[in-house]
Amino acid sequence: MTFGIIGSGSWATALTKMLTDNKHTVNWWVRKQATIQHIKEKGFNPVYLSAAKFDTSFLIMSSDVKDVVSNSDILVVAIPSAYVEESLGDLKPEDWQGKKVISAIKGLLPGKDILLNYYLEQQFNLPLADYFAVLGPCHAEEVAQKKLSYLTFSGSDIVTASEIALHFRTSYINTVVNHDILGVQYAAVLKNIYALGAGIAHGLGYGDNFLSVFIANAADEMAGFLKEFGVEHITVGEHDGEDPITHRKTPNYAASVYLGDLLVTCYSLYSRNRSFGTLIGKGESVSSAIDQMNMVAEGYNASKCIYKINKSINASIPIAETVYNILWENVKALDGFKQIEEVLV
């Protein structure tokens, strides 16, 4: 079983570290030849997550994405959603035939407003049975420091998802398996929007008391959206027995991949979405905030995608809609949060 990583940002770098620490040879698509050369010589990514050290004997790096796809059985797509079409557009359906794909993307494709699995199915005929997602709560910076983190691997094929998860399990990574392949991805998209909102609140000067109320309401709003979308098993305190493989109780909405990921993304100083929102709350324009960020904040494009998707779902998401209005409709951040104050319970 040979892994390929498509992407060389912080999350892609962290996932590559997990696999090479487990002595897996990894085909790694790194866009720039200069970055490849630096990793070969110095053993770390000079642009992202430089604290993560590699045994380079396990790395086969290439700036040609087709080489990585061709030589890998399982492909981890870890690029910002806005760059998916640009990065994968030259590939053909036959390039993906027989491959398993793991999405490490926490966003929707802008313009198309779809998850990666729909794009791969439409563009390359990849069936959902061969598609999986890896989600947090897990910040790349803590992976580099080998601080204990949890990853959730989700797929409709729960047996294969469990097998894949084992390859990422290390002394500092615990893995959880989940079959809610669509729900976990939408939860990951929404939590980035709410984290951006938490950052705006912080930038505006709101305190911890308000933030706790904001996040609690965001959690409720996210659950309502997922329920309208048809996601099951989101009731806190109720479990459908135990997982037949791990013998853990089955996950519900309080599990790490839903509520846990929301909490860490809203609270953590490592959160790029919170950081982006903080700049907006302090009065920076969207374009200025984008220029100041070294990494992509998925919540920015996601807020517009979810706003459009919700026109057909019709869930009650006043917090997410207000974040959208602040970012895309020129509503002043303070005015938007005065509106949010009125809906919080």
Range 89-117 burial, b when 16+ CB lie within 10 A, else e: eebeeeebeebbbbbbbbbbbbeebbbbb
89 and 221 share one domain: no
**Residue 313: CB partners within 8 Å, gap ≥ 6?**
225, 228, 229
65 and 110 share one domain: yes
Report the greatest alpha carbon distance in the chain: 57
Structural domain for 152, as ranges: 3-179
Domain with residue 196: its CATH number is 1.10.1040.10
Q: Which of 179, 204, 222 is the last residue of a domain?
A: 179
Please write the tens of the pLDDT for every residue from 167-223.
Answer: 999 999 999 998 899 999 999 999 999 999 999 999 999 999 999 999 999 999 999
Structural domains of the chain, count: 2
Sheet holding 149-155, edge to edge: 59-62, 26-29, 3-6, 74-77, 100-103, 131-135, 149-155, 173-178
**CA-CA distance, 259 to 253, in Å (whole number)?**
6
286 and 196 share one domain: yes
Angle, helices 158-168 vs 10-21, to 10°: value is 80
Query: Strand 74-77 and strand 3-6: pairing?
Result: parallel
Please write the tens of the pLDDT for every residue from 101-117.
Answer: 999 998 999 999 999 99
Please write the tens of the pLDDT for every residue from 299-339.
Answer: 999 999 999 999 999 999 999 999 999 999 999 999 999 99
Domain with residue 145: its CATH number is 3.40.50.720
212 and 144 share one domain: no
Least confident range of 140-144, 219-223, 293-297: 293-297
**CA-CA distance, 329 to 313, in Å (whole number)?**
21
**CA-CA distance, 138 to 160, in Å (whole number)?**
22
174 and 190 share one domain: no
148: exposed, middle or buried (Cβ count in 10 Å: 0-12, 13-18, 19+) = exposed
306 and 214 share one domain: yes
Range 243-255 burial, b when 16+ CB lie within 10 A, else e: beeeeeebbbbeb
175 and 196 share one domain: no
Q: Which of 161, 179, 197 is the last residue of a domain?
A: 179
195 and 258 share one domain: yes
49 and 155 share one domain: yes
Average pLDDT of the chain is 93
Q: What pLDDT is recorded for position 256?
A: 86
Least confident range of 17-31, 122-136, 232-246, 301-315: 232-246
62 and 201 share one domain: no
Global pTM reads 0.92
Q: Which of 134, 164, 179 is the last residue of a domain?
A: 179
90 and 235 share one domain: no
**CA-CA distance, 277 to 196, in Å (whole number)?**
4
**CA-CA distance, 33 to 278, in Å (whole number)?**
34
What is the rounded radius of gyration, in angstroms, for the C-alpha atoms of the chain?
19
285: exposed, middle or buried (Cβ count in 10 Å: 0-12, 13-18, 19+) = exposed
273 and 167 share one domain: no
